[in-house]
Amino acid sequence: MRLFAVWTTTLLLLLTAGPVRAAGFVDAAERYVTVPDRIGRVMTANPAADVLVFVLAPDKLMGWSAPLSSGRRAYLPAKFARLPITGAGVRAKPEETVQLVTRMHPDLVIESGPVTPEVAARADLVQQQTGIPYLVLDNGIQTTPRTLRSIGALLGAAERGDDLANYTDYAIDALRGRLLIAPADERPLVYYGLGPDGLETGVTGSQAMAAIDQAGVINVAGRLGHGELTRVTRDQILTWNPAVIIAEQRSFYNTLLRGPVWRGLSAVANKRVYLAPADPFGWIDDPPGVNRIIGLYWLTALFYPDQYQEDLRTNVRDFYSKFYRIKLTDRQLEALVRPAESRAGESRGLIGVPLLGAEPVPFPNAAPNAPPSGRPPGRGGLGTPGLPGPPPAVPGVPQ
């Protein structure tokens, strides 16, 4: 009788809980992955996946794949700022990832980034050796709304996924609409400087430049080829003479504003130097994930001031509240926005751009020492007939 009672209780619990089901999911690498019907623990393989799961279903995030600075943690709700560092970032040796997944035993592993055969093969290997489903997602900006909807539904947060996807759709469409309104006769030359010295940047097709590319402007380093990041020299930047410079780190930002070697640049002379906000996640990249959506509003305000009629601070408050569940203090808001916004004395000038998706304007082949010619206000660039001239000579700086 006692044994019968135990079996009866167990059967009732199973019936109440419902059957354990599995569902099929086709990921961005076109892999058919069987995932559990109920997902409670998600391991993320890189920071872009961290942000995706955090904004959709933070209680299911097992931890951060990479360490967060104390400054970034200060912008997160305390409960999530204290999440452990899983160290689940993509490893050079796949067997290390296999060991980590086996030890932590999540219900699901998610990786978000460029989709390549190598990424798909690694996901297959980890999945086959651990038995844990491993999804590969495309982190492209244009695919973000679809990703939010599909992963939101998968994680039991379909309504939230739809809400965030609708917001993202609007942000992308709003930028496209402003591009249609803006003059199409020229585009500003933009340099995005990464690292403490600002001499690392993204080339054509790099994840670091995706948000800037969405804005339809010209990446001055785009002529260096395709790929991800590359090192450049001070003389190259002086020769390119960008109209707008965005610094990833404050050290480069401060040097641009105060260092005599940069004084001749068009961006510096016209006060078009900005610091990219980075807390709790970057507005341009760092990581190249859902966090870039607020960057679309910010870059619109920088590049299309005449078309951007909204209040940037209001958009920032709304985004942080909706996506990160953070109510920004006035001090936090100013720390984010002030170095990133237009300042008094900024020369706006002509800063028109062509339509989204247009091919880049060919770079001039003139020698760096070509004599200056008329320079449309705010565009920057090399000196050749009909195009901008080089920066004025700076004492002590090779030209």
**CB-based contact 199:193 (threshold 8 Å):** yes
Confidence check: pLDDT of 92 > 90: no
**pLDDT 10s digits, 50-83:** 999 999 999 999 999 999 999 899 999 999 999 9
In DSSP terms, 190 is beta-bridged to: 219, 244
pLDDT of the residue at 390 = 38
Q: Which residue has the higher pLDDT, 180 or 261?
A: 261
Classify 264 as helix, strand or coil. coil
* pTM as predicted: 0.80
Integer-rounded Cα Rg, in Å, for the chain is 24
**Domain 21-139 CATH class label:** alpha beta
In DSSP terms, 24 is beta-bridged to: 34
Instruction: Give residue 152's Cα distance to chain centre.
Output: 19
Q: CATH 3.40.50.1980 residue ranges in the chain?
A: 21-139, 185-399
CATH number for region 185-399: 3.40.50.1980
Task: Give CA separation, 359 vs 14, 187, 238, in Å.
Answer: 59, 11, 24
- 379 secondary structure, DSSP code: T
Helical spans, DSSP H, in 241-389:
250-258, 266-269, 293-303, 312-324, 330-337
**pLDDT 10s digits, 129-142:** 999 999 999 999 99
Q: How many CB atoms lie within 10 A of CB 364?
A: 15
